[in-house]
Amino acid sequence: MNDTRDPSAHDSLSEPIETVESTGVISPAFIAQFVGAVGDGDKPYLWRTVKDLHPADTADLLEHLPPEAFRKAIHLLGKELPAEAVAELSDNMRLEALHELTDAAVTAMIGHLDSDDASFLLNDLEEDRRARILNKVSATDRAAIESSLSFDDESAGRLMQRAFVAAPVFWSVGQAIDHMRSVSDDDLPETFFEIYIVDPAFRLQGSVPVSRLLRYSRETPLKDIMKDVPVEVRPEMDQEEVAYIFRQYNLASAPVVDEAGRLTGMITIDDVVDVIQEEAQEDILALSGVSEAGVNQSVLSAVRARIPWLGVNLVTAFLASTVVSLFAPIIDQFVALAFLMPVVAGLGGNAGSQALAVSVRAIAERDLEGPLIRRAIRREALTAIINGLVIASVASLVVLVWFHDPRLSLVILIAMSATFTWAGLIGILAPLTIRRLGLDPAVASSVFVLTSIDLMGFFVFLGLASLMLV
């Protein structure tokens, strides 16, 4: 989209300004133009802009605004701010946006969202404000939202939307099409891929993809063209498990059924894509010892998120220092050992991080189950041994040229080989063990793995030095 408005004069014509670049990034010139309009309080311009932009681009634009401009923009837009754009904002900025919006504006937004997205927004509000807003929406919407909010966070019940298309098993293709054409747009989900076939008790019997429905004549019974549903999702199922099901069976949507097998909702691929991104981000942050991150995160929240794990690392660092202190005499005698300790620990830590990252991702994708576990352990062990021999050989050659001491060269060769082997094994065994204990491998493995590698590396290196150099 091109806009002809100048940042300093929003109603005058100037050179067109590209709003979204070919890569999907909001252009800096357009951001500056929008900031200028916010500063001038130009509501008509702001309203027209967000109306013309895709909700995702609107959210991206708002997130690029300075804090004061962001709050003022939300206030100026009010009810004109697309509900989908608010849902696309990052957690911190969505909370701030909802704080700036009036109850009437939030209520209007709820009416334009599916039940899953509506409950997503309302979940961020204080209980009293949430109750006030729910009292203003229709009884049908309120029941659907309250039902969604009754489920745990990150569960299938939170992801599912209550609006779906179902047809009796005895209907024909023509009856299904006529029914969808006869109901209002508000009674149909905005996006759906399948028609779910149910019996008189509303128990799920199968599904008919819309693309399949359109290929058959009107007289064709739905039961003759319906297909079995590969997996039935339960509301209490974890969202990560739902994402696995979508990936495993290449689904665009999936029905959600209760304990009796009755159809209660559906989950679509757009929500699952968000889950996949969230879970991957959580794993990456957890492996780094960070609970949350974001460019819009405040300094205080960033400190709170990071300092606990830094405190844990401080304790583990002193543990490693304790091991080193046990070998103080040999270090005093051979100063070169102090130069080489970071080499052993650093390379071993990198090898362990590689194995850990691969293992945690494999666990998340359920690629480490049954006989695959033994195969994965064997692969990581052999990989670590070969990598260790190659890197250790190069390091020992460098040490020989540098210090002209064959004994020290042999020490570094053996120590690094042993450290690499341990790093590969602990990198996969630690997350598997932690998973068996019922804990999250991504959260609990990182510090344990790196600490054990440091301890092993220092102990083997300095221990061998004490035996071979004295």
Distances from the Cα of 388 to the Cαs of 36, 123, 380, in angstroms? 58, 50, 12
Least confident range of 40-54, 199-213, 275-289: 275-289
Q: What is the pLDDT of residues 182-203, one digit of tens each?
A: 987 777 888 889 999 999 999 9
The pLDDT assigned to 9 comes to: 44
CA 204 to chain centre: 31
Domain 2-154 has CATH 1.25.60.10: yes
Which ranges in the chain are annotated with CATH 1.10.357.20? 299-468
Ranges of beta strands (E only) in 210-303 are 253-257, 263-268
Query: Which helix (H) or strand (E) element contains residue 197?
Result: strand 194-198
Query: How high is the pLDDT of residue 232?
Result: 85
Q: For residue 230, what pLDDT band results from cuts at 50, 70 and 90?
A: confident
In the block, residue with structure tokens 């981000």: 281
* Mean predicted lDDT score pLDDT of the chain: 85
Residues in CB range of 126: below 8 A, 6 or more apart: none
Q: What is the pLDDT of residue 21?
A: 54
CA dihedral 187, 189, 190, 195 (to 10 degrees): -120
CB 219 within 8 Å of CB 172 = yes
Provide the β-strand partners of residue 268: 253
Give 308-327 pLDDT, tens digit per residue: 767 777 787 888 888 888 88
Q: Which of 272-286, 317-331, 377-391, 423-437 has the lowest mean pLDDT?
A: 272-286
User: In this predicted structure, what is the pLDDT of residue 6?
Assistant: 43
For residues 75 and 256, give the distance between their C-alpha atoms in angstroms, rounded to a whole number: 38
Distance CA 247, CA 244 (A): 5
Question: Do the Cβ atoms of 279 and 309 come closer than 8 Å?
Answer: no
Where does the chain hold its CATH 3.10.580.10 domain(s)?
166-284
Contact 384, 355 (CB under 8 A): yes
> Mean pLDDT across the stretch 230-254?
90
Instruction: Give me the DSSP letters along 374-436.
Output: HHHHHHHHHHHHHHHHHHHHHHHHHHHHHH--HHHHHHHHHHHHHHHHHHHHHHHHHHHHHHH
pLDDT by residue (tens digit) across 253-303? 999 999 999 999 999 998 888 888 777 776 666 666 555 555 555 677 667
Q: Decide: 64 and 26 in contact? Cβ < 8 Å.
A: yes
Q: pTM value?
A: 0.66
Can you name the CATH fold of 299-468?
A: Tetracycline Repressor; domain 2 (1.10.357)
The CATH number for 166-284, chosen from 3.40.50.300, 3.40.930.10, 3.10.580.10, 3.50.50.60, is 3.10.580.10
- Where do the CATH 1.25.60.10 domains begin and end in the chain? 2-154
pLDDT (tens digit, 9 = 90+) per residue, 81-101? 988 898 888 878 888 899 888
> Which range is least confidently modeled, 83-92, 175-184, 401-410?
83-92
- 336-361 tens-digit pLDDT: 888 889 899 889 988 988 888 888 88
Residue 307 binned pLDDT confidence (cut-offs 50, 70, 90): confident
Structure tokens that stand for 262 in this block: 């009755």
